[in-house]
Amino acid sequence: MKQIICFIIILLAATSCSSTYFFSTLNTNNEYVEKVDNGDFLLETDSLWIAYCFKGESAPIQITVFNKLPVPLYVDWQRSALILDGTAYSYAKDKLNFSGSAEVFVDSYNLSPDQTYSFADGSFAGDIESPQNISFIPPNTMISYIPLRLNMNFDKLDKNLYRDSYLGDKDNNAIKVKRIDYSESDSPLHFESYLTVYARPEHPMTFQQNFYMSNLIKTQSIKPSNLPGDMAERGDFFYIEKPANNTFWEILLGTTLVVGAVAIEVAVDANTRY
């Protein structure tokens, strides 16, 4: 009995260690895309505007489209996709195949009032039914949709790339962190969004926007809730949490992964340029 108690105490001590947080900022190389004051990426024409926001854990890709026309517009998610490392991940399909090993996420995204999607932690394979293929936008209104998330794995980045830096917390304390700054040419992460919109199906409009990671901060000392000002609310900012050790709680309680936006697993290292 004493041995069991000691074992549990050791596991509890292991789980009490701080999580590691990776804070990342995105940028774009598109001249026709503006990064507005809140960090969202805005593309505007005479017909519409499109905004991309990535704020939150695991970079949820929130796409907002505003219709400026006096007639309805339609977003065709079946002919829209995220393009990463030469692979297109459709924003909507009849079925989306998936396989791999799940991480522990607590986020859920409700794409309609009565639909969420879930599957258990561990090895898995199968498909997810898509909630919608086409969005209807009446005149002078907008729709907002979160089809995918980017679940980054930064563990393989060379530790020598990090330099010492400081980040202020919400109480204006200077906290020592590790940081990497990237230019467009040396960033290890690039991706594109391809969006199809039309007023009439026979005359579609397509919009392509490029993004890349411009910096990465690694710390165990600042949680997202302790970031300064509105940093965590910016549309160009996302974070990844790497728990110190959650094995004990997985064994004791079990874990359930509940998501509404499909997570794309992305392993990032210094030798890989997505």
Other beta carbons within 10 angstroms of residue 37's beta carbon come to: 8
Report which of 83, 23, 34 is spatially closest to residue 274, judged by C-alpha positions.
83
Spatial CA neighbour of 152 closest among 239, 221, 215: 239
What DSSP assignment string belongs to 83-138?
EETTEEEES--SEEEEEEE---------SBTTB-EEEESSEEEEEEE-S-SEEEE-
Per-residue pLDDT band for 183 (boundaries 50, 70, 90) equals very high
Amino acid 225 reads S
What pLDDT does 244 receive? 78
* Pairwise pLDDT comparison (121 vs 47), residue with the higher score: 47
* Amino acid symbol at 88: A
- What pLDDT, on a 0 to 100 scale, did the predictor assign at position 106? 35
Residue 10 clears pLDDT 70, i.e. is over it: no
**99 has pLDDT over 50:** no
Closest of 99, 109, 106, 103 to residue 121, by C-alpha: 103
How many residues are recorded in the chain? 274
In this predicted structure, the answer to whether residue 33 has a pLDDT above a threshold of 70 is yes
Please check the confidence at residue 95 and state whether its pLDDT lies above 60. no
- pLDDT, residue 253, reads 38
- Single-letter amino acid code for the residue at 215: N
pLDDT in tens, 141-158: 999 999 999 888 888 888
Per-residue model confidence (pLDDT) at position 91: 92
Residue 38 predicted with pLDDT over 90: yes
Amino acid found at 191: F
pLDDT in tens, 105-119: 333 444 445 544 444
Confidence band (pLDDT; 50, 70, 90) for 94? low
Q: What is the pLDDT of residue 70?
A: 97
The predicted model scores a pTM of 0.73
Question: What is the average pLDDT value for the chain, to the nearest integer?
Answer: 79
Q: What radius of gyration, in Å, describes the C-alpha atoms of the chain?
A: 20
Task: Please report, to the nearest 10 degrees, the dihedral formed by the alpha carbons of residues 224, 229, 232, 234 taken in order.
Answer: -170
Mean pLDDT, rounded, for 205-212: 96
Selected residue with higher pLDDT from 87 and 252: 87
Task: Taking residues 228-246, report their average pLDDT.
Answer: 89
